[in-house]
Amino acid sequence: MKCLVCVLQQMLEETRTFVPTVSELSMYLYCFITLSLLPSGFTMLRAFSHTKGRCVLHHAKRWQHRKSVLAIRREDVNAWERRAPLAPKHVKELTKMGYKVLVQPSNRRAIHEKEYIKAGAIIQEDISEASLIIGVKRPPEDKLIPKKNYAFFSHTIKAQEANMPLLDEILKQEIRLFDYEKMVDHKGMRVVAFGKWAGVAGMINILHGLGLRFLALGHHTPFMHIGMAHNYRNSSQAVQAVRDAGYEISLGLMPKSVGPLTFVFTGTGNVSKGAQEMFSALPCEFVEPHELKEVSRSGDLRKVYGTVLSRHHHLVRKRDGQYDPADYDKHPENYISRFHIDVAPYTTCLINGIYWEQNSPRLLSRQDTQKLLVPVKSATGARDGCPELPHRLLAICDISADTGGSIEFMTECTTIDNPFCMYDADQHITHDSVEGSGILMCSIDNLPAQLPIEATEYFGDMLFPYIEEMLVSEGSEPLEKQNYSPVVRDAVIASNGSLTPKYQYIQKLRESREQAQLLKMSGEKRVLLLGSGYVSGPVLEYLTRDSNIGITVVSVMKEQLEQLTEKYRNVTPVHMDVLKHEEKLSSLVKNHDLVISLLPYSAHPFVAKKCIDHKVNLVTASYLTPAMKELQESVEAAGITVVSEMGLDPGLDHMLAMECIDKAKEVGATVISYTSFCGGLPAPEHSDNPLRYKFSWSPQGVLLNTVQSATYLKDGEIINIPAGGALLDSVTPMDFFPGLNLEGFPNRDSTKYAEPYGIQTARTLLRGTLRYKGYSRTMGGFVKLGLINPDPYPLLSSTTPPLTWKELMCKLVGIKSPAEHHVLKEAVFSKLDKDKSQLEAVEWLGLLGDEPVPAADSIIGALAKHMEMKLPFGTGERDMIVMRSEIGLRHPSGHLEDKFIDLVVYGDNKGYSAMAKTVGYPAAIAAKMVLDGEITAKGMVIPLTKNVYGPILERVRAEGIMYSTRSIIKQ
């Protein structure tokens, strides 16, 4: 056959018609496409020269690549490793192309050396001549040759501890490492893998294992005639054995007491497809996952059932129970798996083909498995000699062999020598047997080695198109000068003594693991969470993502504690009133590394003193009050960090302001005004009560805010509003979102932020609270009646006879109890200055009726508890957070700019409220930063510096808390 260039030249230059044969044409097209796809292809074509009608293609190629030598190294790490990266047919093609191929001798290799010699290879021990050395598995460190190209499965991309010495040696010897596992196409799909044959071998093995397990449970089954995959010369023989077993199943020879058998395949890649291919040799029917329950109970015993599980079948977002593939790819940590609930209870055998990524949900945990080990009742019932199964889930074939991955309790792979073990979830132990309690496990990490010849040919077919571009480069040359295709370039883990940019994360993973190991040696991180209210959910959800954090939750709300303990792992409940058990609180603080207080702000100084005594860090979402500031010196002397104002308002408002202010200062601008209003509200469609308000966080805190004093700066003038309710007379309409009909009033002392914000140049400085129009008027009525009173009120103590609201109101308006309803109503109406809307609110809340007043220390405490019962968010109702900040800037050029920052967050109908998210996540993130050493400052800390607010703003965005900014330039 003529060479490609000869044919092209002949076709272009000869005037007569040239007609190649069909076989010639096929080969020419194959060569042309292959060469053109390779980075060096067109260069190679251009290098071909023809003189006097004589082709010198092969001479040119041999001259051009005279130093390009390929070596296939001997597999010497595992006794079962009989594969090679290329088969003789691939070697033959390479030698035809003019390359020299060396093959290290090995009697263990499944393909005999004679076949490689026939293909043109040279069998020799010394492979130092090669520019590219390829294998299947890793070489020993002492066999590495400096400054060479190596290609093999390195198992380093997750910073696997066992292979880090190898990676260190590769870096030390300036080797360029190509990892087959990272050779992927533009969709991220692997293009070089043994995947199919791992699935085929894994399926054969687990069918063999099921035969042994059924026998141990008292049942002979057709699976007993299936052997381990390596007992067959090739897969065709294995298929026949499986078909023979399937024939017996189709005859009804499966024991009736074991019931229908169901097999679940996870993943849709080559691993899963290979397993399904072998499974299809049985009399099988594939069903949808939701049909498993039915077929597991009443399916036909003359066949087996299979289902293929994809992500959308079992993954749901924590906050709303939905699955969004794009969101999952970005934030897998926000999802959980329902596999143990919806699928596993109806599964006989799980064939797992998915790899687990850090922060993604696991398929099965130990706790999940404990719940699955319950007896199964068969339709026929059990009798002597025909026992029922101990539980439905009998076996797991973890083909991914990803230790500590999607199957959490699979912490050590099995081997071809010892392929099975039993996992006892109750005892959390494994034992090398097919007998006893538990689940049969098979997790061999080199399955394709059991079918080595077919696996070698399959793998070689996938690898061969990329060999040449790896081969023609020298490992000592700079990576930047190599003209690799994206598939090959992205698979370079290390080169010239360094990790490539794409894989520098490996070093960070190593450092993180080392830090975690040091931490583990000293025990897990221990967090004490005080309070189990609305905000605790996101705090626990975020922190429990780290399995190395143990959390103790303390609350007076026993039911809430039980719910939290059931929902979140690694949580210990303590039922007590913190303020009434000082010694117990002190003991708890002492035994933890960090305290998060979600108690009312008035309790924080009390908690902080305990933290100071025991030198334990503290995080709160509340204001840094004067009482807390008084502890500044004590906090610094104790050498601890106390983080305050780490919620929404205060918290995110500070961070958004400082991000804008710091950026303005970077361009030389000065701040001339700053106003910020924030409010937690019911969504408009749920604001259907006289208060236009419902509670998604501490009602007492909301009520107290209405009687606080306030100070702010307006056009250079300081405005003071006294405490006691005058704040409600300073309400102004807010029309930046006209459709919401909002009003706002000042919040505490705004002027104190001029110095911390670094905006002493501002002539207006105002921070305020947002509510729907009418809220302030209603609250004003409560103030008039004396209901917003935080002073102790002994008559409401739990140790005194209970009062009704009617009796309490009589006392507050100064009339004798009991009083007729109309008499009390008139007295209240008079106290309210004849304001009908305020009276309607009092009546709507039942404050003139005979309902008992909740026991409390104060009247405001009782009202808060009452409102929490009367004004909760109902099922399906959601809340809303609205924040608007406006910052006026003067630039060095003299022109003015107004910056607008808008934050609008809605709660989730079936998940967390907007308030819980915007308070809980910042507090949790800050706590994690303290635990991880990201916040190291000692003393009182609020989020005003970039090293604190920067990471938090980035991480809250990842939790779905989004904000927008815009500007208006004025001349």
User: 881 has which bridge partners?
Assistant: 680, 905
CA–CA separation, 79 vs 770, rounded Å? 72
Distances (CA, A) of 651 to 494, 620, 943: 43, 10, 7
SS3 call for 855:
coil
Contacts (Cβ under 8 Å, ≥6 apart) of 20: 7, 28
Query: Of 499, 451, 542, which Cα lies nearest the Cα of 195?
Result: 451
Separation of CA 517 from chain center: 21
CA–CA separation, 709 vs 711, rounded Å? 7
Query: Of 840, 870, 836, 841, which Cα lies nearest the Cα of 853?
Result: 870
Separation of CA 583 from chain center: 38
Query: Of 653, 673, 648, 677, which Cα lies nearest the Cα of 746?
Result: 677
CA–CA separation, 869 vs 564, rounded Å? 20
CA–CA separation, 46 vs 229, rounded Å? 49
CA torsion through residues 313, 280, 344, 209, sign: negative
The alpha-carbon radius of gyration of the chain (Å, integer) is 36
Contacts (Cβ under 8 Å, ≥6 apart) of 215: 221, 224, 434
Contacts (Cβ under 8 Å, ≥6 apart) of 476: 147, 174, 496
In one letter, which amino acid is 90? H
Distances (CA, A) of 621 to 604, 644, 646, 960: 10, 6, 4, 19
Query: Of 721, 737, 696, 717, which Cα lies nearest the Cα of 878?
Result: 696
Q: The tokens 């308000």 sit on which residue? A: 693
Query: Of 445, 416, 443, 419, which Cα lies nearest the Cα of 432?
Result: 419
| 649 tagged catalytic | yes
CA–CA separation, 599 vs 601, rounded Å? 6
Question: Catalytic: which of 179, 402, 649, 908?
Answer: 649
Q: Which letter, b or e, does each residue of 175-190 get, where b requires 16 or more Cβ atoms within 10 Å of its Cβ?
A: bbbbbbbbbbeeeeeb
Contact 961, 921 (CB under 8 A): yes
CA–CA separation, 515 vs 519, rounded Å? 6
**What burial class does residue 825 get, using C-beta atoms within 10 Å of its C-beta: 0-12 exposed, 13-18 middle, 19+ buried?**
middle
In eight-state DSSP terms, residue 355 is: P
Q: What are phi and psi of 101, to 5 degrees?
A: -120, 125
| CA neighbours closer than 13 Å in the CB half-sphere of residue 705 | 25
In one letter, which amino acid is 430? T
CA–CA separation, 278 vs 263, rounded Å? 12
CA–CA separation, 529 vs 552, rounded Å? 6
Q: Please count the residues of the chain.
A: 971
Q: Largest Cα–Cα distance in the chain?
A: 126
CA–CA separation, 448 vs 451, rounded Å? 6
CB atoms within 10 A of CB 44: 21
User: Mind giving me the DSSP string for 118-146?
Assistant: HTT-EE-S--TT-SEEE-SSPPPGGG--T
Q: The tokens 């290390």 sit on which residue? A: 494
Contact 592, 571 (CB under 8 A): no
SS3 call for 6:
helix
Task: List the catalytic residues.
Answer: 649
